[in-house]
């Protein structure tokens, strides 16, 4: 068919309908692709949420297994004479506010719900008074513990008998000693025999490296134990392997068959470390997935502050020899 004014032929009716059909199909395919993309994004979101719960579930499952084995690790302990007052705490947590201790607090809180624990969990927060803002940080940690259904107890260190902290030699060691003594006495006050701390696999590696640097040999290189009597509390009654008198049968002299009873003491506070098989990265991912807040001490990132910080920095940056 001829055309005028240079216009293109319109084509047959069939061609026009085919063009319309192709256009409709293209539009439909575009809608399908858009819906598929939306579905993929939704699936990615579901998978991400599932992965988060998977991390929580995996870490929780491992933690539950560790806690179930703790009595075997610690060894059977003789109960104190006379039942503890109803509602008295049985276990305490040392909570610095860092990601590892907050992961421990969250896991213990979940464990308490699973086993329908009737006695309260107590979280001990130590305000070292060594840096600006430490008191407010301790309050923030206490608030987060309350959210996790853990009773917080803030312990403030008193430096008046030790001089100005800025001029004290071996400050880190002294702070550790005062910290454990404060927590130990608080445990005794609450009737707590087991103190859970959040040392993890990275701490274990750092400890062994520190002892290698310190030229330790033999048993000095054994690292952190799963269960030990509380350190730095020697001589404090009711804290250092004491406070639980009991009678044991004894034979004296050995050649006789006459048995008599002897009064001895044990007890005190034991430190348990249920997170030694977990890395800090795993604990961090757990806290993110479980939406647990944590509070970082800036001095922990300073490689010049302490030997442990130096080793941590070298290890993290793959600069160890």
pLDDT exceeds cutoff 90 at 264: no
Average pLDDT, the chain: 78
pLDDT in tens, 106-138: 999 998 888 888 888 999 999 999 988 999 999
Q: What is the DSSP letter of 223?
A: -
Contact between 225 and 273 under an 8 Å Cβ cutoff? The reply is yes
Q: What is the pLDDT of residue 178?
A: 96
Q: How many CB atoms lie within 10 A of CB 7?
A: 7
pTM passes above 0.75: no
Q: What is the pLDDT of residue 17?
A: 67
Rounded to the nearest 10 degrees, the angle between the axes of helix 99-114 and helix 280-290 is 60
Delimit the CATH 3.40.50.620 region(s) of the chain.
Answer: 50-72+89-233+269-316
Residue 12's pLDDT band (cuts 50, 70, 90)? confident
Radius of gyration for the chain, computed over Cα atoms and rounded to the nearest angstrom: 31
Q: Are strands 259-267 and 243-251 parallel, antiparallel or unpaired?
A: antiparallel
Cα 69 to Cα 63: distance, rounded to the nearest angstrom: 10
pLDDT in tens, 232-244: 999 999 999 888 8
Q: E-strand spans in 159-285?
A: 194-196, 227-229, 243-251, 259-267, 270-272
CATH fold, domain 50-72+89-233+269-316, is Rossmann fold (3.40.50)
Three-state DSSP class for residue 247: strand
Closest CA to 96 of 281, 295, 237: 295
Contact between 184 and 155 under an 8 Å Cβ cutoff? The reply is no
pLDDT in tens, 42-89: 555 544 544 554 556 666 666 766 666 554 434 334 443 343 444 556
CA distances (Å), 88 to each of 71, 91, 92, 119, 231, in order?
19, 9, 11, 6, 24
Q: What is the DSSP letter of 92?
A: E
pLDDT in tens, 152-200: 999 999 998 888 888 888 888 999 999 999 999 999 999 999 999 999 9
- The encoded tokens of residue 246 equal 């009991």
């Amino acid at each position: 068919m001829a055309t005028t004014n240079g216009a293109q032929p319109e084509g047959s009716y069939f061609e026009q309908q085919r063009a319309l059909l192709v256009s409709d199909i293209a539009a439909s395919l575009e809608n399908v692709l858009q819906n598929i993309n939306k579905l993929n994004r939704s699936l990615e979101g579901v998978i991400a949420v599932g992965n988060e719960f998977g991390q929580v579930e995996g870490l929780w499952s491992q933690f539950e297994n560790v806690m179930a084995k703790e009595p075997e690790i610690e060894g059977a302990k003789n109960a104190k004479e006379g039942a503890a007052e109803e509602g008295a705490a049985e276990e305490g947590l040392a909570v610095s506010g860092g990601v590892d201790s907050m992961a421990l607090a969250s896991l213990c809180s979940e464990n308490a719900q699973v086993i329908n624990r009737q006695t309260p969990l107590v979280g001990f927060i130590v305000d070292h008074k060594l840096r600006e803002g430490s008191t407010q940080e301790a309050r923030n940690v206490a608030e987060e513990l309350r959210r996790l259904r853990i009773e917080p107890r803030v312990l403030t260190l008193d430096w008046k008998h030790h001089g100005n902290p800025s001029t004290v030699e071996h400050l880190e060691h002294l702070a550790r000693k005062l910290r454990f003594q404060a927590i130990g006495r608080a445990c005794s006050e609450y009737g707590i025999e087991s103190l859970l701390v959040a040392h993890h696999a990275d701490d274990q590696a750092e400890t062994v490296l520190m002892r290698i640097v310190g030229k330790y040999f033999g048993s000095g290189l054994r690292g952190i134990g799963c269960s030990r009597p509380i350190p730095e509390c020697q001589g404090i009654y009711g804290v250092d392997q004491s406070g639980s008198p009991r009678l044991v049968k004894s034979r004296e002299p050995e050649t006789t068959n006459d048995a008599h009873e002897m009064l001895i003491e044990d007890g005190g506070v034991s430190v348990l470390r249920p997170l030694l098989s977990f890395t800090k990265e795993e604990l961090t991912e757990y806290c993110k997935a479980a939406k647990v807040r944590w509070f970082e001490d800036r001095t922990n990132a300073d490689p010049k502050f302490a030997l442990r910080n130096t080793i941590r920095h070298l290890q993290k940056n793959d600069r160890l020899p």
